[in-house]
């Protein structure tokens, strides 16, 4: 069965192809149209996944859509009964599924026809937003039974959902309303502290510089209920409360984006992080206490917060935890397709192997070489590219690394990455200030081998699956913190990504070559982009390389080095 999954008419448009229960291709539209978090219909992503799966439009058996417009419409109508409140919501919050996007969903078949040039006769299935998150988390996990917890901004009518799963059956147990959304709470305070949409990760980094000085304020706003659920005071939900001075009376005025960060701002971030973490642990502990399942799957954008994930893992409420690398809405198209596969009784192969995040386009050597020629950038084709790249990195240079199939999700996992040696704090500062052009307090993640993870970090084998997807913070062993200055955050932690020869063979080989030169199988890894989506094509990579101060670019077997065009 060929299932085309789609997210559209809302942020993070994407497309996925699932054939006979197995993911074949997945990509976000932003990678093609170069607009971050694009709401555009994912025409290019759809054409890519069908081409990758060698499926013609008429061979599509089912189209799944990551949102149920009927459920959303009923919820919007219910809110509209209180017209003054609803007008405020539309003015200040701009919910992602207002009436315009609901109506656009019902024109999905027309958009598909325009995209593919022919009429699509396959049925369309509306998949609830939290159903898609739940399916992405459970179906991609190695588990045959699990509890599932979904926490994000909101779906059609819920902000948190709990499911139980066994075999191919997922059953919803309970939900929390949108007015108790931890995702919205975190977003609102992100904006209150002067940052923008999708910058919640900045607050997570900023929190490490603060103290939990506003614990009483947040404890008064977020109530932990005896049944494991939570209730959030309405003053923290509507953005107008942050604009009309209600929050300012207790915390002080909103910070403007260009204002210098104060200790107050850092303390608010720290208290917000602690509050959300405690709320998540409250839910997980009660969920585990009522369940006889030992596996937990987590889905939704809140679980991009690696510090929260660390606390859940360390709580030992469950034996094993799985979070997909695209746990935010970037994985919605895949989740909807997998939900369709589950309902169609397709077999899900769960062999316990590593789930690969690399489902995007790849480009052959002829395309790469041609792109270098057209960009008029000198390069050579190396017969020992990992050894040459390792030497460039050991020389202290910062390298654009472009290999194989593009990863899915918001974080670069080694195929569209900027790499550097992890030893010098000045490398971190150069990346933040001169290349990435972002806040200088933000940390960078290390990518490393399993052996290096056990040597440098406070972890032991077997490593949790979260460590392989950059979804977990761990502490650096004290004796190595000074040596690894470029990848250690102010609190002594790092957000690690572990690779093996089987999960990413070329990147693992690069790490081994780097170890021969430096005695460390570890590199700094950040996304290959500058104020735009992660690069997708060789053309994107070359454009970013030319516009930035990257020292070198390694694309496939081709190497360009600004200082030494000829690599020996």
pLDDT at residue 93 above 80? no
Taking CA atoms, 78 is separated from 65, 81, 86, 357, in Å, by: 23, 6, 10, 39
Average the pLDDT over 541-560 and give the result. Answer: 97
Tracing tokens 């819920």 back to the chain, one arrives at 158
- At 76, which CATH number? 3.30.420.40
* Banded model confidence at residue 566, pLDDT cuts 50, 70, 90: low
Question: Is the preceding peptide bond at 434 cis, omega within 30 degrees of 0?
Answer: no
Q: Which residues of 372-392 are buried (b: 16+ CB within 10 A; e: fewer)?
A: beebebebbebeebbbbbbbb
DSSP three-state, residue 439: coil
- At 447, which CATH number? 3.90.870.20
Q: Which residues are CB-neighbours of 274 under 8 A, at least 6 positions away? A: 207, 212, 215, 218
pLDDT at residue 85 above 80? no
- The alpha carbon of 376 is separated from its chain's Cα centroid by a whole number of angstroms, namely 34
492 and 445 housed in the same domain: yes
Q: Tell the burial category of 304 from Cβ atoms under 10 Å away from its Cβ (0-12, 13-18, 19+).
A: buried
337 and 481 housed in the same domain: no
pLDDT at residue 410 above 60? yes
pLDDT at residue 97 above 90? no
- Domain holding 112, by residue range, is 2-128+332-343
Q: What per-residue confidence (pLDDT) applies to 240? A: 75
The domain boundary residue, chosen from 293, 322, 351: 322
**Domains: count for the chain:** 3
81 and 199 housed in the same domain: no
Q: Which helix (H) or strand (E) holds 516?
A: helix 505-518
* Banded model confidence at residue 96, pLDDT cuts 50, 70, 90: very low
Q: What is the pLDDT of residues 330-376, one digit of tens each?
A: 999 999 999 999 999 998 888 777 889 999 999 999 999 999 999 99
341 versus 83: the higher-pLDDT residue is 341
pLDDT at residue 567 above 70? no
Q: How high does pLDDT run on average in the chain?
A: 94
106 and 195 housed in the same domain: no
Give the percent of the chain with pLDDT over 90.
88
379 and 516 housed in the same domain: yes
Average the pLDDT over 533-547 and give the result. Answer: 98
189 and 308 housed in the same domain: yes
Q: What per-residue confidence (pLDDT) applies to 500? A: 97
Q: What is the pLDDT of residues 162-219, one digit of tens each?
A: 999 999 999 999 999 999 999 999 999 999 999 998 999 999 999 999 999 999 999 9
Tracing tokens 């790092």 back to the chain, one arrives at 494
316 and 198 housed in the same domain: yes
């Amino acid at each position: 069965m060929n299932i085309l999954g789609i997210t559209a008419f809302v942020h993070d448009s994407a497309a996925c192809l699932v054939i006979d229960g197995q993911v074949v291709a997945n990509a976000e539209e932003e990678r093609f149209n170069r607009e971050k978090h694009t709401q555009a219909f994912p025409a290019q992503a759809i054409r890519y996944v069908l081409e990758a799966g060698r499926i013609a439009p008429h061979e599509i058996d089912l189209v799944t859509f990551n949102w149920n417009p009927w459920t959303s419409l009923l919820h919007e109508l219910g809110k509209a009964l209180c017209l003054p409140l609803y007008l405020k919501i539309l003015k200040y919050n701009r919910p992602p599924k207002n009436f315009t996007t609901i109506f656009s969903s019902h024109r999905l078949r027309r958009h598909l026809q325009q995209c593919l040039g022919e009429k699509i006769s396959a049925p369309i299935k509306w998949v609830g937003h939290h159903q898609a998150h739940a399916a992405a988390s459970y179906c991609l996990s190695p588990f045959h039974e699990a509890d599932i917890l979904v926490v994000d901004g909101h779906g059609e009518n819920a902000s948190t959902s709990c499911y139980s799963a066994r075999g191919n059956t997922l059953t919803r147990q309970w939900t929390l309303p949108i007015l108790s959304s931890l995702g919205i709470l975190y977003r609102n305070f992100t904006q209150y502290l002067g940052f923008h949409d999708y910058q919640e990760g900045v607050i997570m980094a900023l929190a490490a510089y603060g103290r939990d000085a506003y614990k009483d304020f947040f404890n008064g706003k977020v109530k932990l209920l005896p049944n494991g659920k939570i209730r959030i005071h309405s003053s923290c939900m509507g953005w107008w409360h942050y604009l009309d001075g209600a929050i300012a009376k207790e915390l002080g005025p909103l910070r403007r984006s260009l204002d210098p960060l104060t200790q107050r701002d850092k303390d608010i971030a720290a208290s917000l992080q602690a509050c959300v973490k405690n709320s998540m642990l409250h839910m997980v502990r009660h969920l585990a206490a009522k369940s006889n399942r030992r596996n937990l799957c987590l889905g939704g954008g809140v679980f991009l917060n690696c510090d929260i994930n660390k606390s859940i893992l360390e709580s030992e409420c469950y034996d094993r935890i799985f979070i997909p690398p695209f746990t935010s809405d970037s994985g919605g198209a895949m989740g909807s397709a997998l939900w369709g596969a589950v309902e169609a009784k397709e077999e899900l192969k769960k062999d316990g192997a590593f789930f690969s995040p690399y489902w995007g386009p790849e480009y052959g050597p002829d395309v790469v070489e041609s792109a270098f020629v057209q960009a008029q950038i000198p390069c050579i084709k190396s017969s020992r590219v990992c050894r040459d790249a390792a030497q460039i990195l050991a020389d202290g240079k910062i390298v654009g690394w472009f290999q194989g199939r593009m990863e899915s999700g918001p974080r670069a996992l080694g195929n569209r990455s900027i790499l550097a040696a992890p030893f010098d704090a000045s490398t971190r500062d150069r990346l933040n200030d001169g290349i990435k052009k972002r806040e200088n307090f933000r940390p960078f993640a290390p990518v490393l081998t399993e052996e290096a993870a056990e040597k440098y970090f406070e972890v032991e084998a077997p490593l949790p699956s979260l460590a392989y997807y950059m979804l977990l913070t761990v502490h650096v062993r004290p004796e190595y913190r000074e040596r690894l200055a470029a990848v250690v955050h102010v609190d002594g932690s790092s957000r690690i990504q572990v690779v093996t020869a089987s999960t990413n063979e070329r990147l693992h080989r690069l790490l081994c070559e780097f170890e021969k030169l430096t005695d460390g199988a570890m590199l700094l890894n950040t996304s290959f982009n500058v104020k735009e989506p992660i690069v997708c094509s060789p053309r994107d990579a070359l454009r970013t390389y030319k516009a930035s101060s990257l020292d070198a670019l390694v694309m496939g077997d081709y190497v360009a080095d600004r200082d030494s065009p000829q690599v020996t």
